[in-house]
Amino acid sequence: MQVDHSISFRWLRTGDEVFAGSAAAIEAAQASVRLEIYTFTPSPIGEQFRQALIAACGRGIRVWVMVDGWGSFYLPDSFWDPLRRAGGRVRWFNPLSLQRFDFRDHRKLLVCDERVALVGGCNIAPEYEGDGVARGWRDLGIQLAGPLVRDLAFSFDVLFERADFRHKPFARFRKPLFHKRIAVLDGILLQSGPGRGFNPIKRSLRRDLARANSAKIITAYFLPTWGIRRELVRLARRGATVQLLLAGKTDVPMAQLAARRLYQKMLRAGIEVYEYQPQVLHAKLIVLDDVVYVGSANLDVRSLRINYELMLRLKSAPMAAEAKAIFAEALNHGKRIDPQTWKGARSFWAKLKERWAYFFLVRIDPYLALRQMRK
């Protein structure tokens, strides 16, 4: 579908669709393939991607791959030897070190020929295979063609060259290169990383929430900054519909505990809170009227203050209509949290765990990250 004659797009509603779209884009590539991923596991789906990249090299195509050192912890470096022998370039982002383990490249991006890009939340691992209902984690992606794709390629290139993650002196006082907002005719690329200065994802989202008439949000981990929480509460108190679809099943129990620490305040403001039931929820989608956010960032402290993240802000009535349909279908599998019974539904021990999880993720984790910026 076309967005204002500039950006064409296609929603990839399941992990299976993301993998199929990625494979087709790599197979159709004629000049270059850039793949950036947080988690890449040694698995059948991982081997399929490696073989597709090797085949691309065999056609004379330039191939670059970047995987995160922590997210792909279980992937041996030797896995990439066949691709290197074929001519591909592979880099590990922020190779593991006790000196700087906290900052991660959480982005998921595929760019082929600087013409087609896929962005979303899917990693390359078997748990993402499926429809998110009967099997596999619930995730989401979008395929794009248009002016933003070249900017996405450039964004990859900059981070690829900085993959060893060596900070300049006094890095914590510098405005990071990746706190950027790149706009074209009908879309905005929001990219962020650790460091001083306004985070463009937070800033853009707060601005859109302040003038929205409705909000529909899917996020795997919900621990937004104080400013975003305030705007969500204000929006609901203005009488707008605010719906949050959060994880009922999760791969990070501490994140779920911390999120539940916030439910009571959200519910008191009139915000509808749902938990997705069939599978682990890993999707990231925000729809504010005709504005859509999609990409790698969750609404949590780590995504908004620590990790390298990438989000697209796209304003389009047709795109928003499809995104709302995706949200509605997912909401059918959500269990609504009852405002009347939630407070008394948890034991003292459960509430205590929520407080400790909240304290760790809001206070301790950012503090450790700040200390590592000093090294």
| Same-domain status, 11 and 151 | yes
Which DSSP symbol is given to 77? Answer: G
Average pLDDT on 114-133 reads 97
| Same-domain status, 150 and 198 | no
Dihedrals phi, psi of 153, to nearest 5 degrees: -65, -45
Give pTM, 2 decimals.
0.92
* Integer Cα distance of 67 and 149 in angstroms: 20
According to the model, what pLDDT value does residue 62 have? 98
The mean of the pLDDT values for the chain is 91
Q: What CATH number did the domain enclosing 218 receive?
A: 3.30.870.10
How many domains does the chain divide into? 2
Q: In what order do the strands lie in the sheet with 89-93?
A: 2-3, 7-12, 141-145, 116-120, 109-112, 32-37, 62-68, 89-93
Average pLDDT on 16-37 reads 98
- Cα(first)–Cα(last) distance of the chain, in Å? 47
Give the least confident one: 28-37, 90-99, 297-306: 90-99
Does a structural domain hold residue 181?
no
Contacts of 117 (CB under 8 A, 6+ apart): 109, 110, 111, 143, 144, 145, 148, 149, 152, 153
Query: Alpha helix locations (H) across 87-199?
Result: 147-161
- Token pair for 115: 């013409």
pLDDT tens per residue, range 321-349:
999 999 999 999 999 999 999 988 889 99
Angle formed by the axes of helices 226-237 and 200-210, to 10°?
10
According to the model, what pLDDT value does residue 262 have? 97
pLDDT tens per residue, range 144-203:
998 889 999 999 999 999 898 765 544 444 455 555 555 444 568 888 887 655 789 999
Angle at CA of residue 174, ends 172 and 176, nearest 5°: 100
pLDDT tens per residue, range 210-250:
999 999 999 999 999 999 999 999 999 999 999 999 999 99
Pick the last residue of a domain from 130, 145, 173.
Answer: 173
| CA distances to 254, 258, 262, 358 from 354, in Å | 8, 5, 9, 6
| Same-domain status, 145 and 249 | no
According to the model, what pLDDT value does residue 103 have? 84
Pick the last residue of a domain from 173, 205, 229.
Answer: 173
Domain ranges, residue 322: 188-373
| Same-domain status, 119 and 93 | yes
* Integer Cα distance of 88 and 269 in angstroms: 52
| Same-domain status, 291 and 315 | yes
Share of the chain above pLDDT 70, in %: 90
Q: Which 3 state secondary structure label does DSSP give 62?
A: strand
